[in-house]
């Protein structure tokens, strides 16, 4: 059994409306970049796990595990597609981690990809709602903006969270995305622009919502022995955890807290032997601005109900106590759903290597990633360290 698992290579495409790119070209570019970054030759890769939520509906392509292995020049290796809605990428990483941790593999590629813009936006919304409960939510007309709007309304009622605080999440995310050359929205927005943007589902406005995005990301993992042979600056996966909840929002004990995130976060802290106060930065799942507020509460960066105040007090900015979504998050960087969990890890590795440029967190040693499927039916948390 391998004692530790390291990330030794990362790759990521531009995120956005990439009309000249295909599903296969995106993941091939990200995977090739990650393998080149690792210093490995392709024939050394033992296996591959690919996160993708719905390539059949977005791109009319199934059997993507074989497709990706073929076009990445890795034909012959075992390749597995992993699906857990918007947390597909993080779960692919977790499966890759476990395959090395078991001692079965030495080098594994974990990738994530989604090509979402080849179908009309209304069709994309229907496809995305496949991550919810079809019988009790989608059939009744629920959408994810509507579900997260319910969460926001309850959070505002229960804790006094304000529209201004929710909007400040988007302002901060765009500030960070403006510094990220891979981000979909590389521009800043004002608080007034966010609060006055088009209403989508009360209280959520357009600028509270993550976009439809094309993109891919990949990482190469290695056992501790192999990693030390290849690099002097590995980034270690200190913990990997996953938890689930009811898929339907109405079946939960509370809609103002994601219990799966609480459980996954607590398990990750236990495995890594750290506390929330030890984390230097985090990439969290902000598909809607209220989701970031709920995430930082669930992960213990503030008390329950305190996420709005923590954001308003500028504690989650690049210079704050706990920088959140230095990449720009799903809101600013973009959200190609199958790729998001891997992209979060690419950002974490960049920070821990000291390679994040103008968005670099000072003295970053310990980072956390938090990836959610649907409205919280799945949550995957990873803790990474450069020590």
- Res 352: pLDDT: 98
| b/e 81-100 (16+ beta carbons within 10 angstroms → b) | bbbbbbbbbbbbbbbbbebb
Residue 131 zone, left/alpha/beta (φ > 0; ψ -120 to 50; rest): alpha
Q: Say yes or no to pLDDT of 1 above 70.
A: no
Q: Give me the sign of the Cα torsion angle 21, 27, 28, 29.
A: positive
| b/e 248-276 (16+ beta carbons within 10 angstroms → b) | bbeebeebbbbbbbbbbbbbbbeebebeb
Contact call for residues 10 and 89 (beta carbons, < 8 A): no
How far, in Å, CA of 30 to CA of 302, rounded? 35
Bridge partners (DSSP) of residue 115 are: 214
Element housing 44 (H / E): none
How far, in Å, CA of 335 to CA of 344, rounded? 11
Would you tell me how many other CB atoms lie within 10 Å of the CB of residue 298?
A: 26
Residues contacting residue 30 through CB under 8 Å, at least 6 positions apart: 11, 12, 13, 111, 113, 216, 217, 218, 339
- Res 223: pLDDT: 97
- Res 3: pLDDT: 83
**Helix, strand or coil, per DSSP, at residue 379:** strand
Q: Say yes or no to pLDDT of 107 above 90.
A: yes
Chain Cα centroid distance, residue 67:
23
- Res 2: pLDDT: 61
pLDDT digits over 124-183, tens only?
Answer: 999 999 999 999 999 999 999 999 999 999 999 999 999 999 999 999 999 999 999 999
How far, in Å, CA of 294 to CA of 286, rounded? 9
How far, in Å, CA of 103 to CA of 5, rounded? 10
Domain boundaries, the chain: 5-120+213-235, 132-210+238-385
How far, in Å, CA of 192 to CA of 197, rounded? 8
pLDDT digits over 47-103, tens only?
Answer: 999 999 999 999 999 999 999 999 988 999 999 999 999 999 999 999 999 999 999
Active site amino acids? 86, 335
Would you tell me how many other CB atoms lie within 10 Å of the CB of residue 159?
A: 19
Output the CATH code of domain 132-210+238-385. 3.40.47.10
Q: What is the pTM of this model?
A: 0.97
DSSP 65: H
pLDDT digits over 245-288, tens only?
Answer: 999 999 999 999 999 999 999 999 999 999 999 999 999 999 99
CATH number for 5-120+213-235: choose from 3.40.50.150, 3.10.180.10, 3.60.150.10, 3.40.47.10: 3.40.47.10
Asked, colleague to colleague, whether 5-120+213-235 and 132-210+238-385 share their fold, the answer is yes
């Amino acid at each position: 059994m391998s004692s530790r698992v390291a990330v030794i290579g990362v790759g990521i495409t531009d995120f956005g409306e990439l009309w000249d790119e295909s599903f296969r070209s995106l993941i091939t570019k990200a995977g090739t970049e990650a393998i080149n970054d690792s210093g490995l030759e392709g024939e050394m890769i033992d296996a591959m796990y690919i996160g993708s939520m719905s390539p059949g509906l977005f791109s009319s392509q199934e059997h993507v595990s074989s497709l990706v292995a073929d076009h990445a020049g890795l034909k012959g290796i075992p390749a597995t597609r992993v699906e857990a809605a918007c947390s597909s990428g993080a779960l692919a990483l977790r499966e890759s981690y476990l395959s090395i941790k078991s001692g079965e593999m030495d080098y594994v590629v974990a990738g994530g990809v989604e090509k979402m813009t080849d179908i009309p936006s209304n069709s994309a919304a229907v496809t995305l709602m496949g991550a919810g409960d079809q019988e009790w939510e989608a059939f009744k007309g629920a959408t994810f903006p509507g579900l997260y709007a319910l969460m926001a309304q309850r959070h505002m009622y229960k804790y006094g969270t304000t529209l201004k605080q929710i909007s400040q999440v988007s302002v901060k995310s765009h500030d960070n995305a403006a510094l990220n050359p891979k981000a979909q929205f590389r521009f800043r927005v004002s608080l007034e622009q966010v609060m006055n943007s088009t209403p989508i589902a009360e209280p959520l406005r357009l600028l509270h919502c993550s976009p439809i995005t094309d993109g891919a990301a990949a990482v190469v993992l290695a056992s501790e022995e192999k990693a030390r042979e290849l690099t002097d600056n590995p980034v270690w996966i200190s913990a990997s955890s996953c938890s689930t909840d009811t898929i339907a929002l109405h079946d939960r004990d509370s809609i103002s807290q994601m219990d799966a995130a609480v459980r996954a976060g607590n398990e990750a802290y236990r495995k890594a032997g750290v506390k929330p106060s030890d984390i230097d930065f985090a990439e969290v799942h902000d598909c809607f601005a209220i989701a970031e507020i709920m995430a930082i509460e669930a992960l213990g960066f503030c008390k329950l109900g305190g996420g709005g105040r923590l954001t308003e007090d500028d504690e989650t900015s690049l210079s704050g106590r706990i920088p959140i979504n230095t990449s720009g998050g799903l809101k600013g960087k973009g959200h190609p759903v199958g790729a998001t969990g891997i992209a979060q890890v690419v950002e974490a590795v960049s920070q821990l290597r000291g390679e994040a440029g103008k968005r670099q967190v000072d003295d970053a040693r310990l980072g956390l990633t938090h990836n959610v499927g649907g409205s919280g039916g799945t949550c995957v948390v990873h803790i990474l360290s450069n020590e």
